[in-house]
Structure 1
Amino acid sequence: MALIWGLTWLPMKVASEVVPPIFLAAMRFLLAGPCFLAVALAQGLSLRSNQFGRIAAASLLITTGCYSFLFWGVARAPSGLSAIVNLSLMPIFLVIIGRLYGQEPITKRRVAAIGLGVLGLVLLFSGRTGAAQDGAGSVLGLVAVAIGTVSYAWGSVISRPLTLSMPPLVLAFWQSLIGGLALVPVSLIIEGYDPAHFAGLTDGRAIFGLVALVLGGSLIAFWIYLGLVRDWGAFRAGLYAFVSPIIAVAVGVAYAREPFGWAEAAGMGIMLAATALSLSERKPMNTNPVRVGSKDLRGRVQK
C-alpha cells in the first residue's frame, strides 16, 4: 500500500498536465467504482447497509473533500513536496480526530512524534524558498494539500465503524461512487465545462495516470487501507505516511527533476525520527470501544 501510494504522485501530476485536476479525480473514482462493484458481485457480497448517512458523510470527506483540494494542490506544487506535506500531516490529524471520536489515545510517545513531525514540516517550509519564487500558486497548492489531508483523516476516522459492520470492499465501492459523483459538480463549478476535458482523457499521459490511480491507488491500495483501518484503527493504518514520502520524493527527483536540497533532507530526517518513535510504541489498549448503533464491537476490534 505504501509503495503504490508513493508511486502514484507522479502519474497524478503527469495526468493533470492534460486534464483539469478535479475532473481527473472525478474520473478516477467513477472508474474505480464499477471495478469495486464487479469484484464485490463476483464474491457474492451484499451492497446493503443501514448506515447510509454515515457512508455518505465518509464518502464526501474521504473522497470528495480530500481530492478536490488534493488534486488541485498537486497540480500547482511539486509532487514530491506535496507528498511530504500530505503524508506527514496524515498521522497527526488521524490521532487528533481519532481522539475526538474516542478511537485513538494520545500518549506521550505520540505527542513527541507529532512534535518532531511539526518541526520537520516547519523546516521544510522555511528552508524551501523555491515555493515562494515560483509564485503564490505553489504556496496555495501546498495549503490545499493540507486541507485535503484534514478531510481524508476525518473521513478515515468515521469510516472505522463502517468497516466493522460491512466488508471494506463494499465500503470502498460506495465511497468511490458517492464521492466521485459529488466531484462532478465541484469540477463544473471550479473548472467549468469544456468538451476538451473529455478529449484530454485520450491523451497518453491521462491514460497512464488513470490506470495507475484506478488500478493501483484505488482498487489495490485503498482496499488494503480500509481493511487496516478496520483491524488496526485509523492512526496505525495511517503509518504508511512515514514510508510513502521517501518513495514519492525519490521518483520526483529522478524522473521529474524536482528540487531536493538540505532543507528537504533535514525535514525527512526528522520525519524518520518521528517514524521510529511511533513504531516503537506498543499497541495501546482500546479503552473506548467503537459502537455501531447499540452494539459493542470491543471484541471484534480486539479479534
Structure 2
Amino acid sequence: MRRIAAFALMALIWGLTWLPMKVASEVVPPIFLAAMRFLLAAPCFLLVAQIQGLPVRSGGFSRIVAASLLITTGCYGFLFWGVARAPSGLSAIVNLSLMPIFLVIIGALYGQERITLRRVAAIGFGIVGLALLFSGRTGSAQDGATPVFGLIAVAIGTVSYAWGSVISRPLTLAMPPLILAFWQSLIGGVALVPVSFAIEGYDPAYFAALSDPRALSGLGILVLGGSLVAFWIYLGLVRDWGAFRAGLYSFISPIIAVAAGVAYAHEPFGWAEGLGMGIMLAATALSLLEKRAVSAARSG
C-alpha cells in the first residue's frame, strides 16, 4: 500500500505540473526552462543526500551518463521541439499512449519485463481512454509547420525516456534512487543547455525572464514537486516495480492535468472526457493489480 500511495502522489504531482509549466513557458523558452529546472533540482538532491549521509560517488558512470542523456536530455529536447510544431493534444496522445508500449517492449528486450495479455489489454484501454480524454483538445498546427514531423519528434522523445527508464533500473539497484536522481538531473540539465541554445537561440533576456513571477512559481513547483519529490519516487518505483508499472503514471497524470485545466483555466469537459478518465483508471488498475492476481492464482 505504501508504494501505491507513493505512485498516486507521483501521478498527482506530475499531473499538476502541466499548468505551471505552461504558464512559465509564456515568459521563458520551454527547453531553456527544462534545463533550468534540472540544474536547480540537482543541488537540491545533493543537499538532501548530504543530510542523509549518502555517498555521491558511484560506479558505472558511463551507464549513468547514458541514462541521463536519454531520460532527461533526449526526451525533453525532442518532446519540446515536437510540441512546438504539432497540436498539443495530439502530442499528448502520442507521448502518453506510446510510453507504456515502449516501456514494456524495451524492458522485454533487456529481460526486465514480460509482455502479457493483461498488459496488452491495459495499454489498449489506456490508448482509447487517452484519445477520448483529448478528443476536444487536438488544437491546430503552429506556424504553418507540418505537424507530422513534430509528432515524430514526440515519439522519439518518448522512446528516449522509456529507454532511459529501463537502463536506469540496474542503477537503482546499485545506488540510492536519490543519488541517481542527482546525477541524472545534473548531467541531463547541463546537456540541455546547448540543445536550448541550438534550437531556441541564446538571449541574455532568457535569464532575466527567470525573475518573472510566472517563471519563479513554475520553476518552484517543477523543481520541488516535479523533480525533488515525484522524480525521486519514480526512480524508486522503477527499482521496486520495473519501468512498465512505474510508467503507468502516463494514464493517471493526464486525468489530473485535465481536471486542473477545468478547475483553473475553465477548459471544456464533457461525456467523452469523463468516459476517457474512467477507462484510463481501469487500465491502470488492470496493470497495478497484476502481481496480486498472479499471486492469488498461484496460492489457489
Stretches of structure 2 that go unaligned for 5 or more consecutive residues are 1-9, 295-300
Q: 1:135 to 1:268 in 2, by over 3 A?
A: farther
Q: Does the 8 Å contact 1:79/1:252 carry over to 2?
A: no
1:15 matched to 2:24? The reply is yes
Q: Does the 8 Å contact 1:16/1:75 carry over to 2?
A: no
1:104 partner SS: coil
1:116 matched to 2:135? The reply is no
1:240 matched to 2:249? The reply is yes
Q: Does the 8 Å contact 1:65/1:148 carry over to 2?
A: yes
Please give the residue correspondences for 1:70-219 in structure 2 after superposition, counting only pairs within 5 Å: 70-73=79-82, 85-121=94-130, 127-128=135-136, 130-132=138-140, 139=147, 144-219=153-228
Shift of 1:150: 1.9
Q: Does the 8 Å contact 2:89/2:137 carry over to 1?
A: no
Higher mean alpha-carbon deviation, 249-258 vs 90-99, is at 249-258
Counterparts of 2:86 and 2:259, CA distance in 1: 16
Q: 1:168 to 1:100 in 2, by over 3 A?
A: same
Counterparts of 1:251 and 1:80, CA distance in 2: 15
Q: How many residues align?
A: 284
Q: Which amino acid aligns with 1:34?
A: P
Q: Which amino acid aligns with 1:114?
A: I
> Match for residue 301 of structure 1?
none
Shift of 1:169: 0.7
1:268 matched to 2:280? The reply is no
Q: Does the 8 Å contact 1:28/1:214 carry over to 2?
A: yes
Q: Which amino acid aligns with 2:139?
A: A
Q: Does the 8 Å contact 2:87/2:147 carry over to 1?
A: no
Shift of 1:271: 2.5
1:278 matched to 2:266? The reply is no
1:2 matched to 2:5? The reply is no
Shift of 1:89: 3.1
Counterparts of 1:81 and 1:70, CA distance in 2: 12
Counterparts of 1:14 and 1:268, CA distance in 2: 24
Q: Does the 8 Å contact 2:87/2:141 carry over to 1?
A: no
1:58 matched to 2:67? The reply is yes
Correspondent of 1:252 among 261, 278, 290: 261
2:112 partner SS: coil
Shift of 1:116: 2.4
Counterparts of 1:284 and 1:136, CA distance in 2: 50
Q: 1:81 to 1:151 in 2, by over 3 A?
A: same
Counterparts of 1:64 and 1:281, CA distance in 2: 32
Q: Which amino acid aligns with 2:191?
A: A
What is the root-mean-square deviation of aligned Cα atoms in Å? 2.7
Counterparts of 2:145 and 2:215, CA distance in 1: 22
Counterparts of 2:146 and 2:122, CA distance in 1: 27
Residues 106-133 of structure 1: CA distance to partner in whole angstroms, max 9, x if unpaired?
01111122222334455567x4485247
Q: 1:130 to 1:170 in 2, by over 3 A?
A: closer
Q: 1:135 to 1:256 in 2, by over 3 A?
A: farther
1:36 partner SS: helix
Q: Does the 8 Å contact 2:86/2:140 carry over to 1?
A: no
Stretches of structure 1 that go unaligned for 5 or more consecutive residues are 286-303
Counterparts of 1:91 and 1:5, CA distance in 2: 16
